[in-house]
Amino acid sequence: MAIVEITELTKDYLRGFWRKRPHRVLDHLNLSIEEGEIFGLLGPNGAGKTTTLKLLLRLIYPTAGTARLFGRPLGDIDAHRRLGYLPEAPYFYDYLTAREFLDYCGQLFGYDKVERRRRVGDLLERVGLVEAADVALRHYSRGMLQRVAIAQALINDPDLVFLDEPMLGLDPVGRREVRNIILDLKARGKTLCFSTHILADVESLCDRVAILNRGKLHGLGTLDEILPLKAQGSEVLVGEASPALLEALRPLADTVHTAGDKLNLLVADAKLYPVIDCVRQNGGRLLAVNPVRVSLEDYFFQEFGTEKVPDLLDKE
């Protein structure tokens, strides 16, 4: 069952000082998100990802088109009882502590004091903020704020969670934690929709993705359907490589990069097994073999030819 249905959703902003002209940031978007899936909105900055999320959350109003959440029209307050939202680069009231802020969020859902205490306690534990729970948010680091943001998005145990660039500005540990939270939510049967411009996040998490560029939908489906694997190629990582192994591999690989005793090879599929045999015979250690996928950047260059990849400052 589709939890989110978007039909011909369009958003124009008026630009210019004297003569205002419409600037289209989202152009007749059609897509639906099924119950229980992790859906990724993928695209460069200015693609319309945040605009789409803001339209769904009635933070901005559409110029044309409609959308439904849980079968209800946009703006229906009951739909908001069942959803959570993590804004991009979140900022909260810096005079509140995390516990107070989450309690405030709980009040907005009408929970009584006992219920709020239970939910806030659970969430603080889940996002690893128990020790800092009573510290004012102005003393929080970027990563800690992101955890608070995740906690507030989950205060109502939502069925549908929108996450706008959830990994933005996080260190590797933070990224892994957020990734685990997302996977945990999926395991609990929740539906997630998150926007990102980082392909790796999508690869490791999403069931389906929509690729947006300049407000238009350019692809919808699984990542394999949209971004084809690069023709017959793999990236091979080899450890404990001796000079003899290096020399033996050179004629087999398309490219060879060395880093200490590690080798990073780009190998055509036809030569993959000879390379693996060569590593084994010469006492090397096979660390990883990854199929090489077209990068998002490559995808955009392929799709739009020599057209410049959208400007980072192009406002959504």
Partner 1 sequence: MQRVGAIALNTFREAVRDRVLYNLIVFALLLMGTAILFGQISIGVQKLILVNLGLTAMTFFGLAIAIFIGIGLVYKEMDKRTLYALLSKPVRRYEFILGKFCGLALTLLVNILLMSVGFFLALYYVKRGFDAADLPLFSAIYFIFLQLLLATALALLFSCFSSPVLSAAFTLGLFITGSFAADLRELSEALEAPWLEGLMQAVYYAVPNFSNFNVITSAAHGRAVPGALLWGNTAYGALYIGIVLLASMLIFHNRNLK
Contact of 40 with 208, CB cutoff 8 Å: yes
**Least distance in Å: CB of 204 to partner 1?**
26
110: its two tokens: 């009408």
Return the closest-CA partner of residue 99 out of 130, 141, 68: 130
**Least distance in Å: CB of 108 to partner 1?**
5
The answer to whether 301 contacts partner 1 (rule: CB under 8 A) is no
Report 107-166 residues binding partner 1 (CB under 8 A).
107-110, 149, 152-153, 156, 162
Interface residue with partner 1, options 1, 18, 78, 308 (CB under 8 A): 78
The answer to whether 304 contacts partner 1 (rule: CB under 8 A) is no
Q: Would you tell me how many other CB atoms lie within 10 Å of the CB of residue 295?
A: 13
**Least distance in Å: CB of 138 to partner 1?**
10
Q: Give dist(CA 226, CA 94) in Å, integer.
A: 42
Residue closer to partner 1 by CB (options 109, 301) is 109
* C-alpha distance across the termini of the chain, in Å: 30
The answer to whether 61 contacts partner 1 (rule: CB under 8 A) is yes
Contact of 261 with 240, CB cutoff 8 Å: yes
**Least distance in Å: CB of 231 to partner 1?**
42
Return the closest-CA partner of residue 127 out of 102, 155, 150, 143: 150
Residue closer to partner 1 by CB (options 93, 273) is 93
x-or-dash string of contact with partner 1, 183-222, rule CB under 8 A: ----------------------------------------
Beta bridge mates, 41: 195, 210
Residue closer to partner 1 by CB (options 156, 234) is 156
Interface residue with partner 1, options 80, 99, 214, 293 (CB under 8 A): 80
Q: Give dist(CA 261, CA 49) in Å, integer.
A: 42
Number of chain residues interacting with partner 1 (CB under 8 A): 33
Return the closest-CA partner of residue 129 out of 143, 112, 117, 115: 143
Q: Give dist(CA 46, CA 88) in Å, integer.
A: 13
Among the residue ranges 15-23, 66-74, 103-111, 304-312, the one whose residues contact partner 1 (CB under 8 A) = 103-111
The answer to whether 58 contacts partner 1 (rule: CB under 8 A) is yes
The answer to whether 92 contacts partner 1 (rule: CB under 8 A) is yes
**Least distance in Å: CB of 100 to partner 1?**
8
Residue closer to partner 1 by CB (options 89, 288) is 89
Contact of 85 with 162, CB cutoff 8 Å: yes
By the 10 Å C-beta count (0-12 exposed, 13-18 middle, 19+ buried), 155 is classed as buried
Binding residues (CB under 8 A) for partner 1: these are 13, 54, 57-61, 77-78, 80-81, 83-85, 87, 89-93, 95-96, 104-105, 107-110, 149, 152-153, 156, 162
